[in-house]
């Protein structure tokens, strides 16, 4: 975070370029991103992102918590896709522990993850369109997002910081009638996507503002560590859900949208198509939802059912021990990458055999993807910077952690 230092001093002998400050309080920087733009007239010569305004030291905080207490911390990293972060962390610790998750919990996780992706992409689409000047889309997107948040509230009691996944499964059985609500939403959602597309996909203003803007080639995207739709928009076909399936994704049929154009429009199309695919995956999960428990059979790790705790001595003891002392995790280290709406969300967890993680590191997609901004914007106009930021879909909480 360079906000303590004055803006960089340019060579006084030149009078061509000037420094323009953008952010951190700027409506189009999606949070508190600060950009220093060196401009020559309207053209960008150099772009210097300045981040760290939301750094809260989550990685350090995790080291002082029990394994199960870290789950609520992970929500707060990327507040638009809390379930994805929960899942990545839970999968990492489950891999360290070596426990099996029952199919119903896995299916629920997949379904909720796809709903989270829909939620995140809707916020992205709304704000991105509004940045470029299309106000209506924002209202439509937030209308559907509200429905998704209601579903989250029904299942976890929270709209945003859900903390619904637990190490070893889920916190609770979903409530009665929840699947009907999800079905109702998923049934009408494809029609809603058509609405957004009617407003944007062939809209000449939208196309002029996005086609050919902020070009990023596939090789540059790989070299700059971009992942997710930013990478797929540049023609590199990587999706960890399909390539390295986790949490039962190998049982679902879906396409991975890829576009070779590498511009803002390509990234827009990739995400809109992903919305459709997410709807299909969530539908498959809903239709094939297995019966059974939502918690793994690991009494030392998973909290016992309320009923058992009140009637069985053993369950009460386990409950007491997990809550007061935590559970120990065998020594080792795990890197668990999953496909978040923004790209590769990787959790690197190191255990020293105690009840608290020795180190938790989050490889966050926004942080890595932000590096592409420079390549996208240099030599282009200031007005295109806003389109480029929107097309990377950064969340500053995810970026700064």
Residues forming the site for other proteins (CB under 8 A): 1-5, 51-52, 55, 57, 59-60, 64, 95-99, 222-226, 236, 238, 243-244, 298, 330, 332-335, 337, 344, 346, 348, 350, 358-359, 361, 363, 367-368, 370-371, 400-401
Shorter beta-carbon distance to other proteins: residue 110 or 224: 224
Looking at the Cβ atoms of 60 and 188, the one nearer to other proteins is: 60
Query: CA 262 to CA 109: how far, in whole Å?
Result: 31
What are the CA-CA distances from residue 259 to residues 45, 82, 342 (Å)? Answer: 28, 27, 16
Q: Helix, strand, coil shares of the chain as percentages rounded to 5?
A: 50, 10, 40
Cα separation of 303 and 301, whole Å? 7
- Do the Cβ atoms of 395 and 128 come closer than 8 Å? no
Question: CB of 130: closest distance to other proteins in angstroms?
Answer: 27
Q: Pairing between strand 34-40 and 43-50?
A: antiparallel
Smallest gap, in angstroms, from Cβ of residue 41 to other proteins?
26
> CB-based contacts of 137: which residues, under 8 Å, 6+ apart?
125, 126, 129, 130, 196, 199, 200
CB of 15 to other proteins, least distance (A): 25
**Nearer Cβ to other proteins (127/364):** 364
The distance of closest approach from Cβ of residue 363 to other proteins in the complex, given in angstroms and rounded to an integer, is 4
CB of 57: closest distance to other proteins in angstroms? 6
Task: Name the residue nearer to other proteins (CB basis): 51 or 80.
Answer: 51
DSSP-assigned states of every residue in 44-76: EEEEEEE--TT---HHHHHTTS-GGGGHHHHHT
Which of residues 278 and 364 has its CB atom nearest to other proteins in the complex?
364
User: CA angle, 258 as apex, 130 and 286 as ends, to 5°?
Assistant: 80
Alpha-carbon distance of 373 to 69, in angstroms, equals 35
DSSP 302: S
Write b or e for each residue in 285-304: b if 16 or more Cβ atoms lie within 10 A of its Cβ, otherwise e: bbeebeeeebbbebbebbbb
C-beta of 300: minimal distance to other proteins in Å? 8
CB of 96 to other proteins, least distance (A): 7
C-alpha span between 124 and 391 (Å, rounded): 8
If you count them, how many residues does the chain have? 401
Toward other proteins, which CB reaches closer, 118 or 301? 301
Least separation, in Å, of the C-beta of 149 and other proteins?
Answer: 30
CA distances from 28 to 21, 34, 56 (A): 13, 11, 22
CB of 55 to other proteins, least distance (A): 4
Which CB, 23 or 337, lies closer to other proteins? 337
Question: Measured from the CB of residue 235, what is the shortest distance to other proteins in angstroms?
Answer: 12
| Residue with smaller CB distance to other proteins, 384 or 400 | 400
- For other proteins, give the closer residue by CB, 156 or 230: 230
Residue 217 and residue 233: Cα distance in Å, rounded? Answer: 9
Of the two residues 213 and 298, which places its CB atom closer to other proteins in the complex?
Answer: 298
DSSP state, 303? P
Give min distance, CB of 217 to other proteins, in A. 13
Nearer to other proteins, 212 or 245 (CB): 245
Complete DSSP assignment for 362-397: EE-HHHHHTTHHHHHHTTSBHHHHHHHHHHHT--HH
């Amino acid at each position: 975070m360079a906000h303590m230092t004055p803006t960089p001093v340019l060579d006084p002998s030149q009078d061509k370029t000037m420094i323009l400050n953008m952010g951190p309080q700027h409506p189009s920087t999606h949070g508190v991103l600060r950009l220093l733009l060196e401009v020559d007239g309207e053209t960008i010569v150099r772009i210097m992102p300045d981040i760290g305004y939301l750094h809260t030291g989550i990685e350090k905080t995790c080291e002082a918590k029990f394994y199960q207490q870290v789950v609520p911390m992970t929500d707060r990293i990327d507040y638009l896709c809390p379930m994805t972060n929960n899942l990545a962390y839970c999968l990492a610790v489950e891999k360290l522990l070596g426990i099996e998750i029952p199919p119903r919990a896995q299916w629920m996780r997949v379904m909720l993850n796809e709903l989270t992706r829909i939620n995140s992409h809707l916020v992205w689409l709304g704000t991105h369109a509004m940045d470029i000047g299309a106000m209506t889309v924002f209202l439509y997107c937030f209308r559907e997002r509200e429905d998704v948040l209601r579903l989250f509230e029904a299942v976890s009691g929270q709209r945003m910081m859900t903390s619904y996944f637990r190490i070893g499964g889920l916190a609770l059985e979903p409530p009665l009638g929840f699947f009907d609500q999800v079905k109702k939403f998923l049934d009408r959602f494809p029609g809603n996507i058509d609405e957004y597309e009617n407003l944007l996909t062939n809209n000449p203003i939208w196309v002029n503002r996005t086609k050919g803007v902020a070009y990023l080639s596939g090789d540059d995207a790989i070299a700059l560590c971009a992942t997710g739709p930013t990478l797929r928009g540049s023609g590199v076909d990587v999706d960890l859900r399909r390539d390295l399936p986790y949490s039962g994704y190998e049982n679902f049929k879906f396409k991975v949208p890829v576009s070779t154009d590498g511009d803002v429009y390509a990234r827009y199309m990739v995400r809109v198509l992903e919305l459709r695919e997410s709807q299909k995956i969530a539908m498959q999960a809903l239709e094939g939802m297995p019966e059974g428990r939502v918690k793994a059979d690991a009494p030392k790790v998973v909290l016992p059912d309320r009923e058992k705790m009140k009637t069985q001595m053993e369950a009460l003891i386990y409950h007491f021990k997990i809550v007061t002392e935590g559970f120990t995790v065998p020594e080792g280290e795990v890197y668990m990458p999953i496909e978040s709406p923004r790209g590769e969300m990787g959790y690197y967890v190191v255990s020293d055999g105690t009840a608290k993680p020795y180190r938790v590191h989050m490889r966050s997609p926004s942080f890595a993807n932000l590096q592409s901004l420079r390549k996208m914007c240099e030599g282009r106009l200031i007005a295109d910077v806003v389109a480029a930021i929107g097309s990377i879909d950064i969340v500053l909480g995810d970026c700064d952690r």
